[in-house]
């Protein structure tokens, strides 16, 4: 019984933790398929090298590219309910080098 309670508690904490980070949640729902692997030349998650030339264009240009679609990325980048602020947060999240 104790193990069941601990298991349920850990599951609840996991759900709360993911809900507490909407950027990670949006990334996992809309961006991960392409940006985790770099498919179709998408800049890879956490790769400073991939993101550097794109960031040099400026955040407004990147948001516009997401909204209009760019190369293989469809318009709105699979996040149809994202705002410009959401896209900015996602770009920052994906372009920040991970250790």
Specify the pTM: 0.79
In a domain, 16, yes or no: no
pLDDT tens digit string along 17-35?
545 699 999 999 999 999 9
Domain range spanning residue 89? 22-95
Q: What is the mean pLDDT of the chain?
A: 87
Q: How confident is the model at residue 48 (pLDDT cuts 50, 70, 90)?
A: very high
pLDDT value of residue 96:
97
pLDDT value of residue 98:
83
CA distances for 43 relative to 5, 38, 48, 62, angstroms: 42, 6, 9, 12
pLDDT value of residue 12:
47
Report which of residues 8 and 63 the model is more confident about: 63
User: What is the domain count for the chain?
Assistant: 1
Q: What CATH code is carried by the domain that includes residue 28?
A: 1.10.760.10
In a domain, 50, yes or no: yes
DSSP-assigned letters across all residues of 41-83? GPPPTT-HHHHHHHHTT-HHHHHHHHHH-BTTBPGGGG-TT--
In a domain, 69, yes or no: yes
């Amino acid at each position: 019984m104790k193990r069941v309670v601990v298991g349920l508690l850990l599951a609840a904490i996991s759900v709360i933790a993911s809900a507490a980070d909407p950027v990670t949640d949006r990334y996992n729902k809309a961006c991960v398929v392409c940006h985790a692997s770099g498919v179709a030349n998408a800049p890879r998650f956490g790769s400073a090298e991939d993101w550097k030339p794109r960031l040099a264009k400026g955040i407004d240009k990147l948001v516009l590219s997401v909204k209009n679609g760019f190369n293989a990325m469809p318009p709105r980048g699979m996040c149809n309910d994202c705002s410009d602020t959401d896209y900015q947060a996602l770009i920052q999240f994906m372009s920040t080098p991970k250790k």
